[in-house]
Amino acid sequence: MTSPNNLHVPQARAILAAGKHVVCEKPLAMTAAESAGLVADAAASGLVNAVNFNIRFYPLHQHVREVIAAGELGEIRLVTGRYFQDWLLHDTDWNWRLEPDKGGALRAIGDIGSHWLDLTSFLTGQPIVSVMADLSTFITTRREPTGPVETFSTERSAETVDRSMGTEDAGMVLLRFANGARGSMAVSQISPGRKNSLQWEIDGSDAAAAWDSETPEQLWLGHRDRPNEILLRNPALMGAAGRAAAALPGGHVEGFGDTFGALFRAIYADVLTGRPNPDPPYATFAAGHDEMLVNDAIALSAQEGRWVDVDRTTSTASPAGFSSPAGERGDRTPVTEAAR
């Protein structure tokens, strides 16, 4: 099924109560209090649970996570990048995500920034511990069509109603990670010409790595004392996790759509065992909840103009926010998707 963000919690809770494994679109909930409840429900059920942070499943991302964990970049120091789109550039662009009661209090951060934040924590193995955010609403009034709306449509409705905007078009966030690394993220849904541009660079004490969603088959590796490298996605040249996420041999392009197949292959592998994986490559409800906690800190930081620590003192997520070990369940029930 497809649904706005405000329906994720009741749908996911109903699916768990029916004894079915569940994949939920991000964000997991509208508030961290709601997502904490879902984490508890999922842990009590013993069912496989996941949040659709599909960008983790570009094969090179799975490979980089292993490279960093093996220490090949050295100590991680800087994590920088952006996620830019242009589909809300005009004041006539409209979507339910613009409505806080359906999309949530954060828009650009919650919708696409959450992907970048989850991804970089996943790659580095480091949770975000504090943030300094500056959020901006450049288009303060938008014209909502009175009729049906198609997302990403270029058509303009002749009949509109003016609506005041309270959610952000763009944002800049400074980050501190648990190991002391520093980071920065820029997010925008109003950058002309950028359809879906996600970039990151991770700088370590020995080497660096960088990736661009518009050239997803290439991983840049930077060095001080020898030539830099470009690693092309090739199962024969990647680690075990990268090979598992790749569906095609090297030279056969895999893109955004293929990440969903890789994500669901990993989820169904755990469904077949009948129990959650204690260290899955996909985001669990606990990871989705952890991202909600980061978003709460970003919202508070932007409101108060100061550094804010991510409050995990009452969190049910694991320290890294990646997995939620739960009890075992012997039955093999279907997986149901509660989607965006």
Question: Can you read off the two tokens belonging to residue 153?
Answer: 């449509």
182 has pLDDT over 60 = yes
CA distance 163 to 141: 5
Q: Do 276 and 46 meet the contact criterion of CB atoms below 8 Å apart?
A: yes
Mean pLDDT to the nearest integer, 218-240: 98
**pTM for the model:** 0.90
> Alpha-carbon distance 207 to 225, whole Å?
10
Three-class secondary structure of residue 311 per DSSP = coil
Give the class (CATH, top level) of 5-338. Answer: alpha beta
Q: Compute how many other C-beta atoms are within 10 angstroms of the C-beta atom of residue 311.
A: 12
Q: Does 84 have pLDDT greater than 70?
A: yes
* pLDDT of residue 109 exceeding 90: yes
Please report the pLDDT score of residue 158 as a whole number: 72
Extract long-range pairs of 66-72: CB within 8 Å, 24+ residues apart.
66/239, 66/240, 66/241, 66/242, 67/209, 67/239, 68/123, 68/124, 68/125, 68/202, 68/204, 68/209, 69/125, 72/206, 72/207
Q: Is the pLDDT of residue 334 over 60?
A: no
